[in-house]
Structure 1
């Protein structure tokens, strides 16, 4: 464990191996002392271990230390007992169990007294000072006061002349404690912090201890900010980042960059704010890429979302609209972007040997970076010199360079795959290349604490329109209360208030002004919502013109983010390569109909679509006996276009539990997003079900819905619903949509025409449809004698007849009960469905 030569990581692994092996001989019963020594040594080694999961290592360290205490008793072997208490304290501190750490350090002080063991006594007081500094239990200011007392006691032994390194370390810790001491003595505490930093800098010079020097610059920057000396504060914070590449030391760069950005932003020093926030974002995104736990990755991003908001505002204030938009893209839908990248990567089944070799090298280099980070952390726990810091910098920089070289080679071999393993933020010019027509515009919404920014991007330009004071509190909370809350708790009120709500929302977003100023030459929109705007049917927003909706003026489709739109394009190109005749007329269709045997409209809908496209019976899953999870999976792997008309349900409190309800069980969003659900042949999905794009986005704008689940699984286009839809209206809408598709209309065109046709459908039109069904009923009655009662053919005939009679009753009932000449004119009928992905 104490070996200096060789690789530290491997040395520690060898130590664990030999200590563990010794326990095969040294049992607690026969060799208690040797057994306890091995347990104690294992505890100390696991605290320093580099490989493996850090939390698991610390848990093992605590377990081994506690085992050692079964033999190392206070009254029998006090020094061994005290050493184990110190290791327990270190392990508890690593687990943020500071109360337990304090108890262990205090226990060790019963043995390591000032007079007999002054150095250990001083080290324990320094450890106690750090533990009290981080303790959140009880009164925080009392804890800080205890921290300062313990650290000052350590200075009784740690004199500058005798122990310069340890003296400087205590001064450093004192500065931290002074900075969060009781605010009633704020000025005095800042002076004490500045004095402690200045003293520590006598030892921690930029030349010999660069990391400690940088930390002290950071503390000085914070202290001078508290004192109101902003210029000094920013100078010190900028100095703290001088030697720190955010890709190499992300944690420190994130902390320092974030504070530099915040202080500069609050004082309207926009360029300095941009520098600080840009550094913090690069560090944040590096940290995310290094962390394996997805929940932790999302947590880190959520904690830092204000960094993105503020850099966007700073760029807007300096008239750099393109940069503001690029950073708005970097902030949104990170989880979905990562999921789509990983899912596309796993779809690449037959990877060429050369590409496979490059992928392996890339992963090995990332593993080496992980090891070096832990290695440096362990070394730095002992001491730090310029040499150690320089070696660490050089190693990480070299590994990152080598990794980038491998990525560049991979990009030459397979550019799509390269883009999937290392997701690069898109710049404006790359996003503009996703706009496939000069009359198409991306409308991208981004809400900050104060305002909602609307970016309008065309092939050759970018504009910004800001809705002042329509920020998180005013706009997003208003949507939550008047749309989402009503939908969940008072559906009738939600329905009654819908038109009024959409009218007010259009006014809040200044829609008519945007159309007049920026969209006069545009006829197609790609809408990129933000936060709760994902729940809004933009097609039904009034434009300000007489009785005109947005859908009347534009073809509309959606995307959760431009990076996801880019993935859809990449996926489309992959499918074109994999499918020999990638033509709409040659694609195979499949349907999943009425999976729970209680939706007559869904049966009729499926029958009409099957007739249009001559879908064979083996590609139709009808009813609970056929529409099982296993059959659904097999069908989705066999066809390129799948139409689902059955029950579905979103789960707002746990999106991964949103589900497609089938005959024997459900398919959850969590399953769709798992590696086991990869559908490389799938092109289009039409989810003619309830709530398939209803979700409650997180603060990081991740919208996890069944619709986005199919995009992650491999589809390039998904039609989905924003709420619980009406059965008859949905069946008619779906039929109208496919009628338009048969006329070679693209997805947004077909969607628009179907929405308008349903909205403008008159009672007389419903009566015509009713007559057609009555004609079919008569035809079926004439066929009844062809089948033997109780035969399979008779059961099928009876079922067909039953569906048509029930649909006809529904049609007649709608005609009779509708107060309007247009039974489906209300937006809740015709605007529920949206198109995502490609057109």
Structure 2
């Protein structure tokens, strides 16, 4: 056992060497951690900071677990349903989050955190990993009775971690540089706003050869395999992503030429079947297993600007989940940004551009993402157009940038907020180093 532990500590020091007291002492004075756990008869929440001698434990009533199970079953059923019901899922998302906040007693949990803590790290468990906990509504603990969401209560940022062990590992990685970008841009050539997104984002980084973008047909698995990722500080995938609920290890980022040819023999191990029409060759995709093998020693951030890249194997009762974010963390990145559902192309492009724009300022990754999300939620049509015009001048972009946005939101009045629904801004989470 000692030999095994020594081997694990050498190659993946997140298990036997983990010491909770040491981890807690390394927290700063302004950070709180909320870790969830689900037992056979209740929901448990552990709340701790550097100052708490023992974690504060919040326990639900047995009926709350029943309510959560029913809520979760309905949420997943509607999300996985056909296109008509998926609209219902999207339209009902705000109300569903209200219900979830009540079931989880989020107000009572947040009240246990002292006001000096302005940064929050959430460590979900099982099904809770699938949900945008950062967007849950709370009542202001100052007693004003004003409703806000968790992100607004913690102005230094809300982020996530798969576990305390992986968070500790991520925190040890010092990656100050942020000039070299590697990006995958629209390998399937069917995402309207992905090209716009990456074209703007690459303007924030050094010119080639420091920055390298694989565009559409060039973004093949062979091209990925040939890259030495150790030279890049940011890795950005703007493409399709799919999570396989039945076999999570077959989940993947879809690259160019991955569509299964009609003449190919069916092979359940080799292919990822999304529908009768959509079948992808996993040998032409970047799967979870292959992510674990990447070398990201210089990487500061991996951004997965794609659908369902933050979903995990929620049937696994282990604290360490199977999913793309943990794969990139283990591969060497201290932080990953990923999504919890099938996201909208335009809103994702706007959110990502604003996220990277925020990162030019001295702020954490989590805060940059949070502020971009709140901006997208609250931005009026006129504010979006003014922002696009300003960005066009700053980066010498084609006027097409503003015109494309204007075309998409033309049905809204100038004072309306077209992306106010959580569906448009709440899907993305910052995972790892805070």
TM-score (norm 1): 0.44
Counterpart of 1:138 in structure 2 is none
Alpha-carbon distance between aligned partners in 2 of 1:767 and 1:427, rounded to the nearest angstrom: 51
State the SS of the aligned residue for 2:70.
helix
Q: Which residue among 114, 121, 130 is the counterpart of 1:535?
A: 130
Structure-2 change in CA distance of 1:712 and 1:608 (3 Å) = same
Q: Are residues 1:559 and 2:179 paired?
A: no
Alpha-carbon distance between aligned partners in 2 of 1:815 and 1:556, rounded to the nearest angstrom: 33
- RMSD, aligned CA: 2.9
Q: Which residue among 316, 326, 329 is the counterpart of 1:711?
A: 329
1:466-501 per-residue CA deviation (whole Å, 9 max, x = no partner) reads 1111565442x2243222221111311211211111
Alpha-carbon distance between aligned partners in 2 of 1:460 and 1:620, rounded to the nearest angstrom: 45
Structure-2 change in CA distance of 1:550 and 1:769 (3 Å) = same
Asked if the contact 1:432/1:459 (under 8 Å) is kept, the reply is yes
Alpha-carbon distance between aligned partners in 1 of 2:190 and 2:387, rounded to the nearest angstrom: 22
Q: Which residue among 309, 312, 330 is the counterpart of 1:692?
A: 309
Unaligned runs of 5+ in 1: 1-288, 290-361, 367-403, 411-415, 577-581, 781-800
Asked if the contact 1:542/1:549 (under 8 Å) is kept, the reply is yes
Q: CA deviation at 1:838?
A: 0.4
Counterpart of 2:427 in structure 1 is 832
1:282-321 per-residue CA deviation (whole Å, 9 max, x = no partner) reads xxxxxxx7xxxxxxxxxxxxxxxxxxxxxxxxxxxxxxxx
Asked if the contact 2:180/2:205 (under 8 Å) is kept, the reply is no
The structure richer in helix per residue is 1
Q: Are residues 1:604 and 2:196 paired?
A: yes
State the SS of the aligned residue for 1:600.
coil
Structure-2 change in CA distance of 1:769 and 1:532 (3 Å) = same
Q: Are residues 1:544 and 2:139 paired?
A: yes
Q: Which residue among 606, 610, 614 is the counterpart of 2:206?
A: 614
State the SS of the aligned residue for 1:506.
helix
Q: Which residue among 599, 611, 636 is the counterpart of 2:229?
A: 636
Asked if the contact 1:689/1:725 (under 8 Å) is kept, the reply is yes
State the SS of the aligned residue for 1:752.
helix
Q: Are residues 1:501 and 2:87 paired?
A: no
Structure-2 change in CA distance of 1:426 and 1:529 (3 Å) = same
Structure-2 change in CA distance of 1:774 and 1:714 (3 Å) = closer
Stretch moving more, 532-541 or 421-430? 421-430
Counterpart of 1:678 in structure 2 is 295
State the SS of the aligned residue for 2:361.
coil
State the SS of the aligned residue for 1:735.
helix
Q: CA deviation at 1:767?
A: 2.7
Q: Which residue among 16, 21, 44 is the counterpart of 1:453?
A: 44
Structure-2 change in CA distance of 1:774 and 1:564 (3 Å) = closer
Asked if the contact 1:449/1:473 (under 8 Å) is kept, the reply is no
Counterpart of 1:756 in structure 2 is 374
Alpha-carbon distance between aligned partners in 2 of 1:483 and 1:819, rounded to the nearest angstrom: 33
Alpha-carbon distance between aligned partners in 2 of 1:422 and 1:810, rounded to the nearest angstrom: 45
State the SS of the aligned residue for 1:495.
helix
Q: Which residue among 348, 359, 376 is the counterpart of 1:730?
A: 348
Q: CA deviation at 1:530?
A: 1.0
Q: Are residues 1:593 and 2:210 paired?
A: no
Q: Which residue among 72, 75, 80 is the counterpart of 1:480?
A: 72
Alpha-carbon distance between aligned partners in 1 of 2:312 and 2:361, rounded to the nearest angstrom: 33
The structure richer in strand per residue is 2
Q: CA deviation at 1:807?
A: 6.5
* Superposition pairs of residues 241-260 of structure 1, within 5 angstroms: none
1:241-273 per-residue CA deviation (whole Å, 9 max, x = no partner) reads xxxxxxxxxxxxxxxxxxxxxxxxxxxxxxxxx
Higher Cα radius of gyration: 1
Q: How many residues align?
A: 394
Structure-2 change in CA distance of 1:775 and 1:568 (3 Å) = closer
TM-score (norm 2): 0.82
Q: CA deviation at 1:704?
A: 1.8
Unaligned runs of 5+ in 2: 141-145, 258-283
Counterpart of 1:467 in structure 2 is 60
Q: CA deviation at 1:808?
A: 2.1
* Superposition pairs of residues 330-409 of structure 1, within 5 angstroms: 407=6
Counterpart of 2:410 in structure 1 is 815
Counterpart of 2:365 in structure 1 is 747
Alpha-carbon distance between aligned partners in 2 of 1:717 and 1:809, rounded to the nearest angstrom: 31
Counterpart of 1:797 in structure 2 is none
State the SS of the aligned residue for 1:816.
coil
4+ residue runs of structure 1 moved beyond 6 angstroms? 773-776
Structure-2 change in CA distance of 1:604 and 1:809 (3 Å) = closer
Alpha-carbon distance between aligned partners in 1 of 2:152 and 2:391, rounded to the nearest angstrom: 31
Alpha-carbon distance between aligned partners in 2 of 1:684 and 1:524, rounded to the nearest angstrom: 19
Counterpart of 1:667 in structure 2 is 286
Q: CA deviation at 1:754?
A: 0.7
Asked if the contact 1:766/1:815 (under 8 Å) is kept, the reply is no
Asked if the contact 1:590/1:635 (under 8 Å) is kept, the reply is no
